[in-house]
Amino acid sequence: MDNDENTLIRYFKGHSSELEKRQIEERLLSDEAFSKLANTLKVEVHIAEILDQQNLANKIKERGFNHLYADENRPKAKKKTLSFIILAIILIGSFFYFFKASLNDQEPIKVQEIYAVNLSNLRSQNGRIEDFEDIQRVIIDRNTDKYASSIRSLQSISIEDSTFLRASYLLGHIYFIQEKYSKSVTAFKNATPKEPGYLQDQCKWYRILALLGSNRNEDAKGLLLELINTNSSFKAKAEVLLNEI
């Protein structure tokens, strides 16, 4: 009986040889008990597959896909938290600006403030929503214990990996928010793609802000001129910033 069952289970799973298949099909026509067993097993094999899938489906559902959803789909409480964090970044940025200004005659560039304005522009433009979502996720993660682990996992991605550029880009933002400007410069440098285009310009722009944050104004000027001369989409912003420096 166990043997018949094994044979039939293999048959229904499509794992029987051609010869076995023929033999089973012949027997199904002549042997009533075997045919009855086959009818029961057919359903049971099918149920077992569904049961297995349902188990995995439940786990997938438990984990959810929240990390993919944009701001408008998140609960309102999170919206408020995000606004609060952005406001806090602006306030902290302003505080450091006034604090540093009192120590130094030369007026430093308000990089955190420019950065925050940049974020809100990204949001209102609504064009490059992925960028906004990614950065937003970084900011949200900052307030959770996932933050340290997400930094570690981003750091662990090797240069050969296809997601290396994206990972470096996000790391650049994380370090920038943490005001670790030198690390942020390196990360944005690593994230810069070789091909010219919006992504390359974007990496350059944030690298400029990080360079200014670490008081490397001359290096920042060089990159700003590059953005202006290549007619990039950051040209206007770059010109304003160059004048400020």
Partner 1 sequence: LKKLTDDRLVELLQGTEQECDIALSHIQIYFSGLALLYKLIVQEGKKPIQDFEEIASDALLELASAVQKGKFRFESSLNSYFTSIGKNIWRTRLRRAKSIHTQDIDNETIRIEPSIEKDIETEYLREIIRSSYAQITDNCRQIITMRFNKEMGTEAIATSLKMKTQSVKNQLSRCRSKLRDIIKAYING
Binding site for partner 1 (CB under 8 A): 2, 6, 9-10, 13, 15, 43-61, 63-65, 67-70, 73, 129-130, 153, 156-157, 161, 163
Task: Classify burial at 200, counting beta carbons within 10 Å of its beta carbon; exposed 0-12, middle 13-18, buried 19 or more.
Answer: middle
Nearer to partner 1, 71 or 113 (CB): 71
Angle at 198 between CA 86 and CA 217, to 5 degrees: 65
Nearer to partner 1, 16 or 184 (CB): 16
| Nearest-approach distance from CB 93 to partner 1, in angstroms | 30
Nearer to partner 1, 107 or 161 (CB): 161
Length of the chain: 245
Nearer to partner 1, 63 or 218 (CB): 63
Nearer to partner 1, 51 or 225 (CB): 51
73-81: list long-range contacts, CB under 8 Å, 24+ apart.
78/140, 81/140, 81/143
| Nearest-approach distance from CB 73 to partner 1, in angstroms | 6
To which residue do tokens 């902290």 refer? Answer: 92
Nearer to partner 1, 96 or 147 (CB): 147
| Nearest-approach distance from CB 205 to partner 1, in angstroms | 23
In contact, 129 and 163? CB cutoff 8 Å: no
Which DSSP symbol is given to 179? T
| Nearest-approach distance from CB 210 to partner 1, in angstroms | 25
Extract the tokens encoding 40: 């029961």
The kind and range of the H/E element at 243 are: helix 235-244
Nearest-10 Cα torsion for 85, 91, 97, 99: -120
| Nearest-approach distance from CB 7 to partner 1, in angstroms | 11
DSSP 24-63: HHHHHHH-HHHHHHHHHHHHHHHHHHHHHHHHHHHHHHHH
| Nearest-approach distance from CB 223 to partner 1, in angstroms | 29
